[in-house]
Amino acid sequence: MKLRFLRFITVIGLFLTIMSVNNIAKAEGKQDYLLGAGDSIRINVFQNPELTTETRVSGTGLVTYPLIGEVNVGGKSIQTAEQLIAQALIKGGYVKEPQVNIVLLQVRGNQVAVLGMVNRPGRFPLETSNIPLSHVLANAGGVTLNAGNGMAVLSGMRDGLPYKYEVDLASLFLGDKKAEDVLVSNGDVIYITPGNQVSIIGQVLRPGRFSLDGVKMRLVDALAMAGGMVPSASDSVVVTGMRDGQPFKKEFDVAGLFLSNESTEDIYVVANDQIYVHRAPVYYIYGEVQRPSSYRVERNMTVVQALAQGGGPTVRGTQRNIKLMRRNDAGVIEKVVPKLTDLIKANDVLYVEESLF
């Protein structure tokens, strides 16, 4: 008799513990979770183990329960679903005073949409009823490099009212404020905005849009993000954008950028700047040369240097038989005999004629 009483006390204590944990969960806000299609739940009735069952909410919001059949729990809170099952058991005369407890095993009915600068945008199920924003972003593969110092914008409904929350990505993942990592809810939409970006086009290895590391960045560092300049790039880079509300455009010498230790404002880029790397000017060399082709015009390049870049004359060509064709300001092509010290210009054509003697 004494042993039976102790067992009864133990069962009562266990039940009170379960109810206490459930009440704590409800006090933390979990009572507002609404069951949806695909959710997996366990239903327990105190002192009626034969009525314990695990089931999944159907697409129409129904669960099938022993003795009472189908119960519509879709869109209802866990507490409301417990009361519905208890009332059905009482009405059917199966249990006089049922104490029903529903445990949420897996959440499938509730989903959130993740858009913008993430690696796998789409809709994702909420695996638990209290998942934080950072975990949802992890499910979406994390943010892309273009997110940079962008924002996470969460919109949805709370207590029947429109809800919107914005948080800086850096503070969300690097900060110590857990309050900023808010809990998401069914139907929420999370949009990751791009960070401060610049466009880099032209003669670079990887043209495109890139996020700045902060509000501004050195031009040389921005070019490095695009993989650097290709061999056909010129010595000048043009930056256009806005400064102090006014249109801004400036051309920079590449050699000066990489060799200078200056840190003045005019060699920094800011959000929405466009960086254009020009193609280097070229000249053409044909006739009796070792390697006839087009070549890059180097700084202060002379005719003799251009001839050497083409491999020099063949055995049938000489430096005395060089003709230079150049388009003048009027657009007319002029043909002259250049000096070896003359400077080469863009689109010049050097022709080495064959020498008979």
In 69-176, DSSP assigns E strands to: 69-72, 100-106, 111-116, 122-125, 151-158, 161-168
**What single string gives the DSSP state of each residue in 181-222?**
SPBP-TT-EEEE---SEEEEEESBSS-EEEE-SSSEEEHHHH
Say if CB 301 and CB 343 are below 8 A apart.
yes
Which numeric CATH code is attached to 2-106?
Answer: 3.30.1950.10
pTM of the model: 0.54
With tokens 């020009």, the residue in question is: 278
With tokens 């390049």, the residue in question is: 301
Give the residue-averaged pLDDT of 302-330: 90
Say if CB 341 and CB 303 are below 8 A apart.
yes
Assess whether pLDDT exceeds 90 at residue 212: no
**What single string gives the DSSP state of each residue in 263-295?**
--GGGEEETT-EEEEEEPPEEEEEESBSS-EEE
Structure tokens at 4: 């039976």
Closest CA to 347 of 279, 283, 294: 283
d(CA 81, CA 89): 13
With tokens 């300001």, the residue in question is: 329
**Residue 140 identity (one-letter amino acid):** A
Q: How is residue 135 annotated by DSSP? A: H
Write down the pLDDT at residue 264: 47
Q: Computed from CA positions of residues 19, 25, 30, 32, in that sequence, does the dihedral angle turn out positive or negative? A: positive
d(CA 280, CA 278): 6
Q: How is residue 333 annotated by DSSP? A: E
Write down the pLDDT at residue 238: 93
Considering the chain, tell me which residue range(s) the CATH 3.10.560.10 domain(s) occupy.
111-192, 197-279, 282-354
Question: Where do the H-state alpha helices sit in the chain?
Answer: 2-27, 78-91, 133-139, 169-174, 219-225, 254-259, 303-309
Say if CB 85 and CB 62 are below 8 A apart.
no
Instruction: Give the pLDDT confidence of 236-254 residue by residue, as tens digits.
Output: 899 999 888 899 999 988 7
Considering the chain, tell me which residue range(s) the CATH 3.30.1950.10 domain(s) occupy.
2-106
With tokens 């913008």, the residue in question is: 116
Q: CATH number of 197-279: 3.50.50.60, 3.30.70.120, 3.30.930.10, 3.10.560.10?
A: 3.10.560.10
Q: Which CATH class is domain 282-354?
A: alpha beta
Give the residue-averaged pLDDT of 38-62: 90
Q: CATH number of 111-192: 3.40.50.2300, 3.40.50.300, 3.10.110.10, 3.10.560.10?
A: 3.10.560.10
Assess whether pLDDT exceeds 70 at residue 257: no
Banded model confidence at residue 107, pLDDT cuts 50, 70, 90: confident
Burial class (CB in 10 A: 0-12, 13-18, 19+), 168: middle
Q: Which residue has the higher pLDDT, 266 or 186?
A: 186
d(CA 180, CA 134): 10
Structure tokens at 256: 């000066």
Assess whether pLDDT exceeds 80 at residue 33: no
Q: Which residue has the higher pLDDT, 111 or 146?
A: 111
Instruction: Give the pLDDT confidence of 111-138 residue by residue, as tens digits.
Output: 899 999 899 999 988 766 678 899 999 9
Cβ-Cβ contacts under 8 Å for 313 (sequence gap 6 or more): 288, 289, 290, 307, 319, 352
